[in-house]
């Protein structure tokens, strides 16, 4: 290997944090999935996962505020090195798509304001990273999350399992990009 290539590889390794805390988000306004994982470069383990649920009777402003406050608390408690959020895929219901896009924007703003780097991943990237197949179904994805993290059961609800997958994909993307 040429000397300059070796130096470049070593410089990249030295800059890379040996252990990263990653907050994964599956955005939504009724249920917003989240997962906090730790990636040491060899192994990942899940610190916590779940969903932020808002009431249907609440206004969208109240729902956004509740999500923002809960995410702020998560970020302050776990001090993530980065936030990974799923990109919005085309929604059949435009109104729903716009509301989810608003939530995404708020989350990205919040992370940036708190000094947390943001990585966006496409749904097909997550599927490809976990299963090697960009059109994997939800069950295949959930089984891989269960296997990778050694969970006894698949995380519930689905939004939490998706957030774990998103966090893992973002961590790998950041390490090997």
* In a domain? residue 6: no
| Pair of tokens at residue 60 | 């969208």
Q: Is residue 45 part of a domain?
A: yes
pTM (2 d.p.): 0.88
In a domain, residue 9? The reply is: no
Q: Which domain holds residue 112?
A: 18-176
What digits encode the pLDDT tens for the residues 51-87? 999 999 999 999 999 999 999 999 999 999 999 999 9
Please check the confidence at residue 177 and state whether its pLDDT lies above 80: no
Residue 128, in any domain of the structure: yes
CATH (domain of 39)? 3.30.420.10
- Mean pLDDT for the stretch of residues 142-163: 96
- Please provide the DSSP assignment of 40-85 as one string: -SS-EEEEEEEEEE--TTS-HHHHHHHHHHHHHHHHHHH--SEEEE
| 1 domain-assigned | no
Q: Has residue 105 been placed in a domain? A: yes
Give pLDDT, residue 10.
Answer: 39
26 is catalytic: yes
- Number of domains comprising the chain: 1
Catalytic residue at 159? yes
Q: Is 86 part of the annotated catalytic residue set? A: yes
Residue 80 belongs to a domain: yes
In a domain, 10, yes or no: no
* List 26, 39, 125, 162, catalytic entry: 26
CA–CA distance, 43 with 106 (Å, rounded to integer): 31
Question: Which residue among the candidates 39, 86, 125, 162 is catalytic per the annotation?
Answer: 86
- Contact between 100 and 88 under an 8 Å Cβ cutoff? The reply is yes
């Amino acid at each position: 290997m040429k000397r300059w290539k070796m130096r470049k590889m070593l410089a990249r390794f030295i800059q890379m944090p040996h252990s990263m805390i990653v907050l994964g988000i599956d955005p939504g306004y009724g249920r917003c999935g989240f997962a906090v994982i730790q990636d040491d470069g060899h192994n990942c383990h899940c610190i916590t996962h779940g969903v932020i649920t808002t009431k249907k009777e609440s206004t969208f402003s109240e729902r956004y505020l509740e999500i923002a406050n809960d995410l702020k608390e998560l970020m302050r408690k776990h001090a993530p090195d980065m936030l990974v959020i799923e990109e919005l895929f085309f929604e059949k219901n435009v109104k729903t798509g716009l509301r989810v896009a608003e939530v995404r924007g708020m989350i990205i703003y919040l992370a940036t304001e708190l000094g947390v780097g943001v990585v966006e991943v496409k749904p097909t990237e997550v599927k490809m990273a976990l299963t090697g197949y960009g059109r994997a179904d939800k069950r295949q994805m959930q089984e891989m999350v269960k296997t990778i993290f050694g969970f006894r059961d698949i995380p519930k609800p689905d939004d939490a399992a998706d957030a774990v997958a998103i966090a893992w994909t973002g961590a790998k993307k950041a390490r090997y990009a």
